[in-house]
Structure 1
Amino acid sequence: MITYEGGGLRALAEDGRWPELLAAYRQGRAAAVAEAGEEAAAALTAPLGHLIAYAAPPELAVRLFDPDGGAGTAAGVADHDAGPLWEVLATRHSWLRLAPLLGPAPVRRLVAHTRALLGEDLSYGSEPDPEGVPLRLEPWEAAGWDETARVREYLPGGGARSALLTLPASREGLGGVELPAAAQSAGRPDGPRVARALAGLGALAPWAATACVRGQAPAAAALLARDRRVVGGYLPFALAYPALVRAAAVGRSRGCAHGRLGLWRALAAMARAVGSGFPGDPGGPGGPDRADPAEGASGIDRGEVNALVARMRCFTWQEPSAGLHHLHVALEDPAGGVAWVVSGSQEL
């Protein structure tokens, strides 16, 4: 079976013989699929795929994802080494170079949103996102983190550097806070929109717990915090945004574009869940219903999401023992009196 371990393949790379390397990748992947299945094939050929995605000319690198080589030869969105192969490719070339070349729609979309995260404005001359997620960063998306830290920094021979997911990152700006003792009595919202928003937040960080409460952010935090007395405080949503995006990229098979798309879905569901789940409230039992994209209406409403972010209050707190990846944040929508909480930690 052909893998990147052979010195001959490294020599081909040094000589720029990329068509031969692509042929070796396709041959090795197809043979591995036939012998061991799709998942094993993706793992065995990923190091060579990384090399091609990182260093080959874009005209050839995009063909990693092209099924024209036959069954089992094309990389999919889950093929990864230090990170998804499509994310490696997206960090190496502008959308102007890649747009005319990329074929498969799922890969094309993830590459486009990676380029948006890296600061490109794709809102003009590009096909619109199917869900309505903007193809350029909103000001609140760009405000909270440095452009160079938004996506993994990939290395030519394999491997990557990325910032740790830590929220809160330190005690700076935080203080002693007594969380409410009877958060449960504030009421747990119910209804399809609340469930959809919780599912969206849970998809961002499957290793974390999520909950929703009718009340303020500290009441939501009390549902999942280990102690009533915590070191915590409020911060702008722009400073919480990077951690929420990175949460979906914990693990090598997912990239930060997954996090951005998932967070926009969750925020859209949260915006539509204002007041839902309570008798007589708009959208709740006995109240008038509103259109929902998941129920056949149009996609994400950027104006609704921007309005939610503008009014949202974010509360974060420290836990006594946090893993190297940790996320502890409650998101309060004062307009609806509803707060959402995501809390969990994970070792590397």
Structure 2
Amino acid sequence: MITYECRTLRTLADEERWPELLGLYRESRAIGAALRGEAQGAAETAPLGHLIAYGAPPELAARLFDQDGEPGSAATVGDHDAGPLWEVLATRHSWLRLAPLLGPARVRRLVRHTRVLLGERLDPGDEPDRDGVPLALEPWEQAGWEPGGRVREYLRTGGARRSLLTLPAGREGLGPVELPEPGTQVRELAATRLLAAAVPWATARCVRGSGPAAAARLATVPRVTGGYLPFGAVYPALLQAASEGPGRGSAQGRIAIWQLLAAMTGEPGLSEVNTLVARLRCFTWHEPADELRFVHLALEDPATGLAWAVSGAAYETPG
């Protein structure tokens, strides 16, 4: 158990006593995991892990994930405070600095994709992604937002800032729409399962029909304020929806969306995904109960006659 008060930990950080803080982290996490379970041990040490991931030199901060100590002493992909510890680390140092230091494959993968989202150019031949997710942003991934908005902005002493999740973001370009009869539901498709897994706090459906026909499956009223937007305009909010909650990072959201798009094409590959994105018709709408954090989106593929809809509101989500 960590016995220092938070202000003492911050004093040690101010004095850059990083080896001492790392030793305290690893010891406390191992003890907590042994006595109270892995999840509780991770939660108790997360604020200290955040301090180290944010402020320590990369050679030391990367050791948060080293698995060469006592059982339970290393941070995992799931360790988080205001956000995943691996994402905090990835916002602080380039992949060039971190690549020689990180061991666990899952951590390496997520850090790499975080650096891609932040605009770092990586060697395409360096550790190709196991699912074929490119190590460079496609033009439609860059539209509509700046690099600084793609990942949480972490604060030194804890906490993070992030843009508000709303899709649609406003009513500009939208108008009154009378939704048609709901489309015939199509079940047991991989893309539907992936959409539901990407945004677990929302409801996902697939129908044979148009985007509005898919929206009619989930909308709470027959007449909405809605309209079509290009995929590049909805991608930022969709990525944020897929990384909602402190235990998920933007890299996980990006990977989830690429897996979804690949499943929708039926022929995974960069050119196939780009062709799909170019033809997708994205219908988005407002709900009467919308407040602060919500997503209402239908992805219509004219080539297959299928449309996928996802709709829900995010409140306090579990990590």
| Normalised TM-score (structure 2) | 0.96
User: Does the residue aligned with 1:64 lie in a helix, a strand or coil?
Assistant: helix
Q: Distance in 2 between matches of 1:133 and 1:123?
A: 13
Identical positions, percent: 64
Q: Which residue of 1 aligns with 2:314?
A: 346
Q: Which residue of 1 aligns with 2:133?
A: 133
Residue 64 of structure 1 pairs with residue 58 of structure 2 = no
Gaps of 5+ in 2: none
Q: Which residue of 1 aligns with 2:185?
A: 188
Structure with the greater alpha carbon radius of gyration: 1
Q: How many residues align?
A: 316
Q: Distance in 1 between matches of 2:195 and 2:68?
A: 37
The verdict on how the C-alpha distance between 1:6 and 1:239 changes in structure 2, with shifts beyond 3 A counting, is closer
Do 1:4 and 1:48's aligned partners in 2 also have CA atoms closer than 8 Å?
no
Provide, for residues 162-197 of structure 1, a one-character-per-residue CA deviation record: whole Å limited to 9, x for no partner: 1121001111111001110x224xx32345xxx210
Q: Which residue of 2 aligns with 1:251?
A: 245
**1:317 deviation in Å?**
0.3
Provide, for residues 10-38 of structure 1, a one-character-per-residue CA deviation record: whole Å limited to 9, x for no partner: 33212211111100000110111111010
User: Does the residue aligned with 1:164 lie in a helix, a strand or coil?
Assistant: coil
Residue 198 of structure 1 pairs with residue 192 of structure 2 = yes
Q: Which residue of 2 aligns with 1:76?
A: 76
Gaps of 5+ in 1: 273-291, 293-299
User: Does the residue aligned with 1:172 lie in a helix, a strand or coil?
Assistant: coil
Q: Which residue of 2 aligns with 1:16?
A: 16
Q: How does 1:153-164 map to 2 (within 5 A)?
A: 153-164=153-164
Residue 334 of structure 1 pairs with residue 286 of structure 2 = no
Do 1:87 and 1:255's aligned partners in 2 also have CA atoms closer than 8 Å?
yes
Residue 307 of structure 1 pairs with residue 275 of structure 2 = yes
**1:6 deviation in Å?**
4.7
Q: Which residue of 2 aligns with 1:237?
A: 231
Provide, for residues 55-92 of structure 1, a one-character-per-residue CA deviation record: whole Å limited to 9, x for no partner: 00000000000011221100000100000000000000
Q: Which residue of 1 aligns with 2:214?
A: 220
Query: 2:282 corresponds to which letter in structure 1?
Result: C
Q: Which residue of 2 aligns with 1:93?
A: 93
Query: 2:19 corresponds to which letter in structure 1?
Result: P
Q: Distance in 1 between matches of 2:269 and 2:117?
A: 19
**1:327 deviation in Å?**
0.4
Query: 2:216 corresponds to which letter in structure 1?
Result: A
Do 1:3 and 1:45's aligned partners in 2 also have CA atoms closer than 8 Å?
no
User: Does the residue aligned with 1:224 lie in a helix, a strand or coil?
Assistant: coil
User: Does the residue aligned with 1:45 lie in a helix, a strand or coil?
Assistant: helix
Q: Which residue of 2 aligns with 1:288?
A: none
| Normalised TM-score (structure 1) | 0.88
User: Does the residue aligned with 1:336 lie in a helix, a strand or coil?
Assistant: coil
Do 1:149 and 1:163's aligned partners in 2 also have CA atoms closer than 8 Å?
yes
User: Does the residue aligned with 2:176 lie in a helix, a strand or coil?
Assistant: strand
CA RMSD after TM alignment:
1.3
Residue 325 of structure 1 pairs with residue 319 of structure 2 = no
Q: Which residue of 2 aligns with 1:169?
A: 169
The verdict on how the C-alpha distance between 1:7 and 1:229 changes in structure 2, with shifts beyond 3 A counting, is closer
Do 2:10 and 2:157's aligned partners in 1 also have CA atoms closer than 8 Å?
no
**1:3 deviation in Å?**
5.3
Do 1:118 and 1:150's aligned partners in 2 also have CA atoms closer than 8 Å?
yes
User: Does the residue aligned with 1:137 lie in a helix, a strand or coil?
Assistant: coil
Do 2:204 and 2:308's aligned partners in 1 also have CA atoms closer than 8 Å?
yes
Q: Which residue of 2 aligns with 1:271?
A: 265
Do 1:204 and 1:244's aligned partners in 2 also have CA atoms closer than 8 Å?
no
The verdict on how the C-alpha distance between 1:40 and 1:213 changes in structure 2, with shifts beyond 3 A counting, is same
